[in-house]
Amino acid sequence: MNAAEIEELLTKLVQIPAPTGREQKRAEYITDWLKELGYHPFTDAAGNVIVEMKVQEGGYTVLMAHMDTVFEDVDISVVKNANILSAPGIGDDTCNAAFLMAVMKTLIGQKCRPLKNLLFVFDTGEEGLGNCRGTRQLMQDYKDKVDEVISFDLGSDAVCVKAVGSKRYRVTVTAPGGHSFHAFGQKGAIETAAEMIHEIYRIKPCEGTQTTYNVGMIEGGTSVNTIAQKCTFLAEVRSDDAQALQKIDEQLCNIFNSFNNAEGFAKVQISYELTGFRPTGNGVPEAAQKALADTAAEVICRYTGREPVRRSGSTDCNIPLSMGIPAVSFGGYRGGGAHTRQEWVDAGSFEEGYNILLAFIGKYFIWKD
């Protein structure tokens, strides 16, 4: 497929809503598109669209791109200005999904034969509270049959080689509440939540690791003249080191627990629930992981002329990496503004992006002369 055809496919794909947990319409489109090419896709329990190519005994290489985006929009328009295409979700990860579809069209058109067992996967639930649902399902179904995983995510400027683990919580604060004048001085839910958040931001991350924390959402109260009876907030901790993640998670939970029945907070109740957990890597063979990352970097550099940065990240690769399975994540497009309404991709990168994926995936196939 040429750049114009990829642009047409991408424009169609991004206009099909696929918020996390509601990817069905996009999955149906991809399924029908693949069937027209001659593939035999199927859908698993998590809604992943899968094409399985089994040619021998042994394990599979997984080649995947996620279908979901962080946006709830049902009416998405693509704005084009010169070579720049803008739309919510157009880069992450719709552009790489379009590249993967384009490569699959080339492979079947050229009657290429796989050299080993392969799984082409368009997966669900990668973003946010989706908690890598699709990849978890895939790894559960195939268990010890996966040799390596390549997730086509991100742009062409980086290769994700290490998993950033995370834990996410929904914290609920309840209090008796009251009139802001007559019950002045009584601890309210918002005041308590504010004090808890203040304590969270006093945590000192572990040195020598990339460890972070954040409170990203807060809501509560009923009116300006009411001491709030209820307040909720969402908090997370992240780290690329398993021990550091455990330590900062313990510190966070200790803060939550310390406000229950604390002096001055006798009538305030704190509850919290784990809403998401992404593991860090665990026992991945270093040589195999480096070889996979080296191949990805070499292919990217070949077509862009730039050496990609190797970094940590939170992607679908977290799941196989936590199981000791080599996995990397990288993409083919140039763009920016991921997770914003101003997200954009450069159509001038479509040919090189397609070639990056084709070159990487092509090494798993026998090509006709």
Q: What is the CATH number of the domain that holds 210?
A: 3.30.70.360
CA dist., res. 291 & res. 20, Å (int): 32
pLDDT in tens, 299-352: 999 999 999 999 999 999 999 999 999 999 999 999 999 999 999 999 999 999
Do 84 and 148 share a domain, yes or no? yes
- On whether both 87 and 155 belong to a single domain, the answer is yes
Return d(Cα 219, Cα 101) in angstroms, integer.
41
Give 47-75 pLDDT, tens digit per residue: 999 999 999 999 999 999 999 999 988 78
136 Cβ contact list (under 8 Å, min separation 6): 46, 319
Same-domain pairing of 29 and 142: yes
pLDDT at residue number 126: 97
Residues of the chain with pLDDT under 70: 369
What CATH number is attached to the domain comprising 127?
Answer: 3.40.630.10
Alpha-carbon distances of 358 from 1, 89, 101, 335, rounded to whole Å: 11, 23, 10, 20
Distance CA 172, CA 269 (A): 8
Tell me the two tokens of residue 107: 């492979």
Q: Are residues 170 and 58 in the same domain?
A: no
312: β partners:
162
From 252, 276, 300, the end of a domain falls on 276
Strand 79-81 to strand 60-66: parallel, antiparallel, or no bridges (unpaired)? unpaired
Q: What does the pLDDT read at residue 79? A: 97
240 shares a domain with 195: yes
Q: For the chain, what's the residue count?
A: 369
Instruction: Identify the domain containing residue 71 by its residue range.
Output: 3-164+280-366
- Pair (259, 291) in one structural domain: no
The token pair at 215 is 């409170």
Domain finish residue from 245, 276, 307: 276
- Residue-level pLDDT at 68: 98
In this prediction the pTM is 0.92
Exposure letters 286-298 (e unless 16+ CB within 10 A, then b): eeebeebbebbbe
| Predicted local distance difference test score (pLDDT) of residue 74 | 76
* C-alpha–C-alpha distance, residues 50 and 33, integer Å: 13
pLDDT of residue 261: 77
Name the region of 294 (left: φ>0; alpha: ψ -120 to 50; beta: rest).
Answer: alpha
225, 174: one domain: yes
320 shares its domain with 240: no
What tokens does 57 get?
């005994």
**Residue 68: HSE in the Cβ half-sphere, 13 Å Cα cutoff:** 26
Contact residues for 318 (Cβ-Cβ < 8 A; gap 6+):
132, 135, 163, 164, 165, 278, 279, 280, 281
20 plus 116 within the same structural domain: yes
Judgement on whether residues 138 and 155 belong to the same structural domain of the protein: yes
Structural contact between residues 28 and 56, judged by C-beta atoms closer than 8 angstroms: no
Same domain, 206 and 326: no
Same-domain check for residues 302 and 158: yes
Name which of 166, 95, 123, 142 is nearest 314 in CA terms. 166
Structure tokens given for 231: 């307040």
Q: What residue type is 102 in one-letter code? A: A
d(CA 206, CA 352): 40
Tokens at 272, concatenated: 């919290």
Number of domains in the chain: 2
* pLDDT score of 369: 64
Question: Of 276, 294, 312, which marks where a domain is finished?
Answer: 276
